[in-house]
Amino acid sequence: LKDRLEDEEKGKLQDYEERRKKEREVEEEELKKLKEKQERRRLEREQEEREMAEKKRLEDERRKKEEEDRRIRQEEEKRKKEEEKNKRQQMIGLNFPIGQGGRNFVIPIKTEKNDKFGNIVQAKQEMGMTKDQQEEAKKVFMVAVRNAIPEASEIPVNELKAKIKELHNRICKLETDKYDLEKRHERQQYDLKELNERSRQVARNADGRKGRDAETGGRHPPKVQVFSKYDRQIDRRNFKERRSVYEHVSFHSFTLSLNQNENLKRKKNE
């Protein structure tokens, strides 16, 4: 019997070890897949970051080029305006011969100021649109956007598949960013709680070293106990006993006691 029990125990132990071995193999396989997925995701993120950095660099170069072109164009316009102003001054100066005692200066025409006020008036007109006009402009813009989007039946199959794949990749990227931001927010919340707890612990230890109460060293003042918790007593009377206080039952008993005293006095006198 003892040998049979030992054989059963050995068989159970062997079965348990086999099950654990299979479970470990499954867990290792899942862990391996998870690590491969994380590595693949990391590589994809690095590739996306490189592409975003390249796009940002090209965008910065394009913006700098546009700013440089705008600056050159403004300088050219300013130079042309200066030349026109000098020509007008020269033409006006020819009408006044020298030596006749007239004015020897010319008041320039402030065209730039007029242009500036003209731009302000135009901006006010654009901002002064009514709500109906804004809604109408919005509808016109939305119609133009819808017309710019071709129908699905008009798009070739290859382009449609590429567009679907692009949208799918974009959705996956947004979901990944959302998950990363949520985890980052949770980690930051945990770090913030940990820092607050550490600051409270440091303040409590500092108060203890100075001989003060740890409860008084916080941001809020300590709670003040204005009465003892043993001062209050529970009213153990029932409803009738509490009601009798307001029905003047004690007055009735007082009259009865007076009548009894009078009867006793009368008996003594007799």
- What are the pLDDT digits (tens) for 26-43? 999 999 998 998 888 888
| Residues whose CB is less than 8 angstroms from the CB of residue 48 and which lie 6 or more positions away in sequence, other chains included | 173
99-154 confidence digits (pLDDT tens): 444 444 444 455 444 444 455 555 555 566 777 887 888 888 888 877 776 777 77
The lowest-confidence range among 97-101, 199-203, 206-210, 251-255 is 97-101
For the chain, how many structural domains are there in total? Answer: 2
Tokens found for residue 268: 């003594």
Domain range enclosing 175:
150-213
Which of 58, 79, 109 is the last residue in one of the domains?
A: 109
Which of 213, 238, 253 is the last residue in one of the domains?
A: 213
Whether 95 is covered by a domain: the verdict is yes
Whether 255 is covered by a domain: the verdict is no
Q: What predicted TM-score, i.e. pTM, was given to this entire model? A: 0.30
Query: 54 with 77: CB under 8 angstroms?
Result: no
Whether 250 is covered by a domain: the verdict is no
